[in-house]
Each structure stands twice: as C-alpha cells, then as structure tokens.
Structure 1
C-alpha cells in the first residue's frame, strides 16, 4: 500500500506542487487548506505523515495545530515555512515536529525528510511491537501429537492472507495460536490489533470496532478511530467472536465482505484492507441452530479452522508447560522452583477443566506459597484439594497469606486463592462465578485481571 501524506497549506500552488512531487515518488497526496480541515481528515482517514505549514489562516496556525496532531494521532509531522527562524525551528522541534523545511521547497530535501520521517515512524512501531512481544510468549509449548499438528497448520496458513477461525475451550491457548500466526505472517512488522468481544459492553462495541465521530453519543468528546482502522494493512484478532450480538454480527459481516464501513455517527465510507483471525470457545454450529450466531458470518470466518485441544488431551506436555511457565513466573519476582517426578505425576492426574490457564495459575500459586525449592507430589495434591488445604490452615499449617505481615498483601493473596478456586469450580465460566460470589460480571472481570488470574 502506498503511504498517504497529508499536506496542510493554505496556498493552492504549494498544494499542487507538493502533490505532484509526492505522486511522482509513489505516495498518495491528500490536501487541506486549513488546520481545522486537516484535523478532520486525520479523524476520518488513514494518514502516514503530515506536511504542515506554519502560517495558515486566522483561526489556527501550524504551531497551534502541531501539538494537537501529535497528541491525538502520534504521526511524524514536517513543518514548512517561508519565514523560518532558528527560534521557530527549535520551538517546533520541542513541540514534536520531526523536521523543519524552509520555502522555497527543495525537491530533494522534501523527499529525504519524508523518507526519514516514515522510516522513523516504522522503527517506533517495530520497537513497540518488540516490547509487546517480549512481555508475552508467542511460542506454543509442547511436542504431543495434537500440538505438533497445530504447529504444522500454523506454518502453512501464516504466510498466506487466509482468514482463520481458532476454536477451543477456555484457557487452551487460542490467543497464543493467533500470536504465532501473526509472528510468521507478512504483517509481522505491524502490531496485531486485538478485540475481546466478550469484554466490551454491547453499547460500546460498535464504537470500539468502527470508531466514532465527536458528539455521536454521550461521552464522545472527540472523534476516535476504531480497531478496523488501526488494523488497516495488517491483522485484526476478534477473540470470543461467539459472544457478539446478532446486531453487531450483521454489521461485522458487511464490513468483512466489503472491507469498508462508516464510523458511529458518521457518513463517510472508510476503506480498509484487513486480515481477520477469530477465536471462540463456543460450538458455533449449535449457536447457529439456536439462532444466536449467523451462519453466513460463520462461513465467512471459517476459511481455515484450527482446533486447540484441551490440556487433558495433551497431558504429556505438562512437564514442558510447567518449565516454560516457571520461567515466565520467575520474571515476576517469584523464586524459581523445581518440580519432582512425583509432582509431575500428580499434575498429570488432575483433569484441568481450566486447561493451560488453570495450570499457569496453579504453578504460580505453588511457586508463591510453597516454601521449599523443590515441589513434591504431596504438595501438589494438597493445593489441588481446597478442602484439605483449609483443614491444614485451621490446624496451624504455614500458608503464605497467614505469614504475611502486610494486611493488604494477605488480603490480595486470599482473594486470589478464593477467586481461583471459585473459577475452577465453575470451569472458568466468569458469568457463573460472578453469580456465585455475588459480584457484577464486569466487576469480577476487572478484579480477575488486577489479580493476574486472567490476562
């Protein structure tokens, strides 16, 4: 895709000459005659870089528009001026300008500045992506037959533009599959835009996906780009797609088919080029029969299906998973613990209804609460049995929350253990757990995230 350059200048001759230069170099030129018009275009369209004249109309000049553009859109901005001074150039740089060019404009200087600005923006994006990926595991751990088959599927589908529907129970690692596809795709140098369809309130999901215009609803104080906009030219990951309402499904289907949409409260059609990965823990065929999911949307998403197995179906991977999880947990300030062969045997005996997510939380719990460097099978069984654990507490056993000298930390440890236990009882169904413990689902979801029980 050609890079889109916005030229904000009130002189028609400058707009025309710059547009010609840019188009000769393979860029797409967009023009605006005022700062206000430029901001509207930035709200509505995808722009990669801005050429901004300092001296504009009476309402807002370039120096006033610069911080607004940087704050709202974080794009490289090159200032142009026919009356430049060192003081003006310094001030523009302090306000976030990437470069400063004086009129009359030099062809070579303009192209060099734009090339450097775009390269700088790409490096910033790559650094952001690197920071994000170093904070999470993108490798799928395991050598079981089921996992080996998934790895082969990922290697085959990732380099293509095919859409993928990832299916599997809660906690099996569907997001990890999506991240692996992204890592091996041609869009790996761009962030994968993720949307958790179950975590966004119904009344806000359209705004989240498509963006909105200023004043389109209460609280919409500024215009906002949606996830489809942000994913243009890359990958959009729709997690828990089965929890999306029929109304939103209908809008999603049209956008997926046409690759164009309007923002909430807007009338302008925005075109995008997005590859979609979707994931769900629900049986979509049953949801279709029950009238809860559109069949046409299912067939549109289900180009390449990948099924992620339950942990019980790949139980032989437990030792490798525990080793990998222990490395991640040790980076949180928790000491490295070793597991005996009896401990692995005890772990393999458990059914793991919460799958890898439950295993991860359980391993972290053991690392925090077991005082020994090596965890035994008896300790694993003790912590897997909440009733037996409670009896040990009442008889004076040393359990971490009771040893903590800090009340807030003891309270946090208790809440974490309590909610983890309730989640395990309800097979990690957040709605059922919320009803059982007497909390609103949204409040429980936030609480679980704050306690690092879910991501």
Structure 2
C-alpha cells in the first residue's frame, strides 16, 4: 500500500485529487493537509511514498514544505502543483528537489503518469536499500564470545583508516567476513571491493590476474586487459590465501604497496593505483619465510594490523547463535519454515570437534534441515551429523 499526502488549501481541488487517485488505485492510503503547517506535521509523523504539494498555501508555502520534506524524508518524491505557473517557479522547485512540476488545472493523464513513475522510482529505491541490507547481512559476524567481540572492536578501530590488514586463521573460520566488514565500515565503502583467491589461480596466471596485461604479452593475450588492482582503484582488494602466491607475484605486490604503482604484464608503463590491501592466509607465514616461500619484506608491509580469527572449537559459546542464524538462512533459501533445534541437539553439536570450523557447521545445519524431522532432535544430530 502506497501512502500519499495531498497538501492543497482548496477543498474542491483536494476532493478531485483524492477521487482520481482512489479510482486509479484503491490501495492508495491518502492523507490530506489544508495548509503547509498541517503538511509538515504529517511529514513528521508518517512515512510517505509520495507527496502532491500546492505551491501557494497559508502558514507555510509549498517551497517551504518541500524543503522540510527533503530534510525529514529526503527520498520521498514530491510533485509540485501550482495555479501560478511560470518557468522560474518550476526551475526553483526542481532545484530544491521536486520530482515533477504540474500547472493548474492539472492535466489528469499527465498527473497520473507522474504519480505512477514517482511511486515506481520510489519502490525501486526501497528495494535497492533492502538489497544492500541483505548484502551486508550476508557477511554478518555472528557471535558474542570474547574472541569475536575483540575482532569486532578491532574492526571498528581499524576500518576507518587505510592501514593494511593481515587476517589469519584456519579454513572455514570466516576470514572473508572480516575483510568484508573492514571494507563496509571504511571510507571506501562506495568503491569496489575486489576479492582474489590466490590459491585458485595458477601461478603462471596470477600476475596477469592481479596486474593485467597488454596485447601480445603471451600467447593468449589477444587484447589489453586490466587487472584486479586497477579494478579495485579507490576501493579495497582482498588477497585471500596470499601464502599461496608465487614469489614473482609477491615482488610485484610489494612494489605496488611501496609505490602505489603497477605495471601490466608485457608493459613498462607505470599505472598509479589507490588501493587498500587486505590479505588473509591459513598458513604460518613466519614459517613460510623460514622456508624461503614468502618474502619477509612483503610480510611486514602487509601485517601492519594483525587479526586472528579463532576456530569454532575456541568459541563454542557462539554455536547456539550460529545454529539459529544458519537455520533461518537455510530455511529462507529453500522457502521452508525455520526448524527449531531442541536443547539436547544443540548440546551435542556444541560437543563436536569442528575441524572445518563455521563452514562445516553451516553444512551440517543444512543437512539436518533437509534430512531431520520438523524439530531437530538429538537423535537427528547423531543420525545425520555424527562426527
């Protein structure tokens, strides 16, 4: 249901507007204001999807009401209506943020078209906001244990800076969640977040993937191609599993960090980049340095801030919260009702040795959702999730 405010001091015009909007769509919820003061009071108490506002009104004119709307509900489209139409007035209303300007007596087809477009645009904005919230929720860090609280506090301190961060921890602990939150809470949040899994890219291709290449640089290079560092310009690049990166690529990453410059493979031309680097690894990089597999100078460049993500066995207090979170997520993905976990089932899951960490727990919850009963019992856990 769309909520519409009609701010108009002439009762006859208000009645006409209410009538045509009600006939257009009987689900519209319409509020009326006979002057600018009433309109502003309604704006303060109700969230509207659209405002139709006369310009000449007592107490507060339409331009004053428009300014107040943009202050209190900036996303709401406002269609201005005036019986004293002139170009200067129209320009002024649009400059102040009006969605449209219609002269009196209004052309009803034009008015209804404007209303439809304004409401459609507003609905799109609402859906985009919901989508962004869902994206953020996807990377939500679940847990109240002391280790997780410390990580959240560290993120709050570090995220607003451009300090490089090295995230350590085993497979499935959630290192990528930390990286995403560092970006989402940073000043670079509106810029790209580019993720590179260094372990998944063949060593002979990693340099081209990171820095791009020019046509003819190698056999299959049939055109110029930008790399991940250029794609992340202004934003954040997340180098996951950096311990698997070749020494040759490490040297180029070190130069990029030192000079904020890269070179595409096959080119000697410098390209300036402004990129925040966040790296993660499940390896002991100090041991890798001892074994001559990782550059010590790169390690010190990356490890300005160290964040260690503990395994699930070190944060068992969070398991009930994670079970609840994953149960809701799995149910939503499958379009089913959320299954309740009995206390004894939760206790059994808390006792397991979670070598695969949070990722393994998530898989087990999905398995129990599919194979278990309407309510997940201890027997279900022992039958379908036995360790």
State the TM-score bracket (shorter-chain normalisation): 0.5 to 0.7
Partner secondary structure for residue 185 of structure 1: coil
**Alpha-carbon distance in 1 for matches of 2:169, 2:280:** 8
Contact 2:192 2:231 in 1 (8 A): no
Matched ranges for 1:25-64 at <5 A: none
Q: What is the TM-score normalised by the length of structure 1? A: 0.55
Q: Deviations over 1:363-407 (max 9, x none)?
A: 11111122x111111211222337xxxxxxxxxxxxxxxxxxxxx
Q: What's 2:26 paired with? A: none
| Contact 2:175-2:280 at 8 Å conserved across structures | yes
Q: Secondary structure at the match of 1:190?
A: coil
Q: Which residue of 352, 369, 372 maps to 2:371? A: 369
Matched residue, 2:190: 189
Q: Distance in 2 between matches of 1:280 and 1:340?
A: 36
Indicate if the aligned counterparts of 1:228 and 1:236 stay in contact, CA closer than 8 A.
Answer: yes
The alpha-carbon deviation at position 218 of structure 1 amounts to 2.3
Q: Deviations over 1:104-139 (max 9, x none)?
A: xxxxxxxxxxxxxxxxxxx99xx6995696286222
Aligned residue for 2:30? none
Give the superposition deviation at 1:254. 1.2
Partner of 1:97: none
Counterpart for residue 276 of structure 2: 275
How far off is 1:215 after superposition?
A: 2.4
Map residues 62-81 of structure 1 onto 2, 5 A cutoff.
Answer: none
> 1:328 offset after TM fit, Å?
1.8
1:242-391 equivalence runs, <5 A: 242-333=243-334, 335=336, 336-370=338-372, 372-385=373-386
Q: How does 1:82-101 map to 2 (within 5 A)?
A: none
Alpha-carbon separation, structure 2, partners of 1:328 and 1:210:
37
Counting only pairs closer than 5 Å after superposition, residues 157-172 of structure 1 correspond to structure 2 as 157-172=158-173
Length, aligned pairs only = 261
| Partner residue in 1 for 2:237 | 236
Match of 2:62 in 1: none
Consecutive unaligned residues of structure 2, counting only runs of 5 or more, are 1-123
Cα distance in 1 for residues equivalent to 2:250 and 2:195: 17
- Provide, for residues 64-101 of structure 1, a one-character-per-residue CA deviation record: whole Å limited to 9, x for no partner: xxxxxxxxxxxxxxxxxxxxxxxxxxxxxxxxxxxxxx
Q: Deviation string for 1:143-163 (max 9, x for gaps)? A: 001111111000000011111
- Tell me how far 1:183 sits from its aligned partner: 0.9
Bigger radius of gyration among the two: 2
SS in 2 for 1:202: coil
CA distance in 2, matches of 1:167, 1:303: 13
> How has the CA–CA distance of structure 1 residues 263 and 190 changed in structure 2, closer, same or farther, with 3 Å as cutoff?
same
Structure 1 residue 334 displacement after superposition: 5.2
Distance 1:196 1:129, change over 3 A: farther
Structure 1 stretches lacking a partner, 5+ long: 1-122, 387-455
CA distance in 1, matches of 2:189, 2:354: 33
Q: Secondary structure at the match of 1:236?
A: strand
- Residues 30-72 of structure 1: CA deviation (Å, up to 9, x unaligned): xxxxxxxxxxxxxxxxxxxxxxxxxxxxxxxxxxxxxxxxxxx
Runs of 4+ in 1 over 4 A off after TM superposition: 127-133
**After superposition, what is the alpha-carbon deviation per residue over 1:306-350, rounded to whole angstroms, capped at 9, x for unaligned?**
010010000010111111112221232152211100110010110
- Supply the RMSD in Å over aligned alpha carbons: 2.1
